[in-house]
Amino acid sequence: MNRTMWFMERRTGRTILVCGVIGLLASPANAVELKPKTVAGFDRYIRATEQRMENDSRDGRFLIIDRLPDAARQQACLQLRQGRVYTEELHTNEDSEAVGVPGGLIHHWVGIAFIPRATIAQVQAVLQDYDNHKNTYKPDVRSSKLLERNGNEFKVYLQLYRKSLVTVVVNINLEVFYSRANENREMSKAYSTRIAEVADPGKPSEHELPVGNDHGYIWRLYTYWRIEEKDGGVYAQVESVGLSRTIPWAIAWLVKPLTKSIPRDILSRLLIATRTAVNSTL
């Protein structure tokens, strides 16, 4: 076999493999049901995570980098002020043990960006402009709408888009709550109240799959913002906890790396887009 034939056969083999994986991920026959035990495990994980946040705040660790040793924290702050984005994968334990989520996979990441010359009010204005999120955060957000506001409480609709091995579109309803820790610190919590996967997006046959009985790309989503004004600007931190189905063993070797790269990339884009939107108002 000459080199050209070997290359063509290898490329054809990879194409067949990828097509097979896409078929496995996207086939209606591979839809899965969200089980009560999975929801219970995720809820327990969220409670433990929020308890960790409360403990951190009580002990003076408002941002995730405040947990670092002094030298590492100062280095992280310097890099942030130079325009870099800090990201880290997190794992919440309860009583020093991992929280089990049977039938589910947790995606827990945090990211921080620094926005020089900005104020909390300017960052808040961008985050609360939900009708404009489809422009601020495109292409990850395809559609957005503020459904209801009552003071610092919001009800929001978003349609999220992601294309990797397969194209994933989901409709998400969120409830969002903002609160002030003090004059230099603000927090928010957003959690999904409904997530529906969209089948055949952009086609005349577009429709939602039954909630909790779909491909399991994303079943639950919690997002926490922490904004601190200091050092001549604002540190904007977002912590995201998502729940998806577990990865079928046959394709875990191919898909598992994406469970780390995708949420990290999304957080980075989210923070950079927020900084860009705030900068446009300065």
10 and 85 inside one domain: no
**227, 246 in Cβ contact below 8 A?**
no
2 and 44 inside one domain: no
Task: Look up the domain containing 20 and give its range.
Answer: 1-29
17 and 151 inside one domain: no
What pLDDT does residue 260 have? 60
What pLDDT does residue 22 have? 41
Model confidence pTM above 0.95: no
What pLDDT does residue 246 have? 83
What pLDDT does residue 21 have? 42
What pLDDT does residue 264 have? 82
Distance CA 74, CA 71 (A): 5
Per-residue pLDDT of the chain (282 residues; tens, 9 = 90+): 544 443 444 444 444 334 444 444 444 446 789 999 999 999 999 999 999 999 999 999 999 999 999 999 999 999 999 999 999 999 999 888 889 899 999 999 999 999 999 999 999 999 999 999 999 999 999 999 999 999 999 999 999 998 876 788 999 999 999 999 888 999 999 999 999 999 998 889 999 999 999 999 899 999 999 999 999 999 999 999 999 988 654 544 445 555 566 778 889 999 999 999 999 998
123 and 70 inside one domain: yes
What pLDDT does residue 70 have? 93
25 and 35 inside one domain: no
What pLDDT does residue 248 have? 55
Number of domains observed in the structure of the chain: 2
What pLDDT does residue 167 have? 83
Quote the tokens at residue 179: 């609160």
User: What is the CATH number for 193?
Assistant: 3.30.530.20
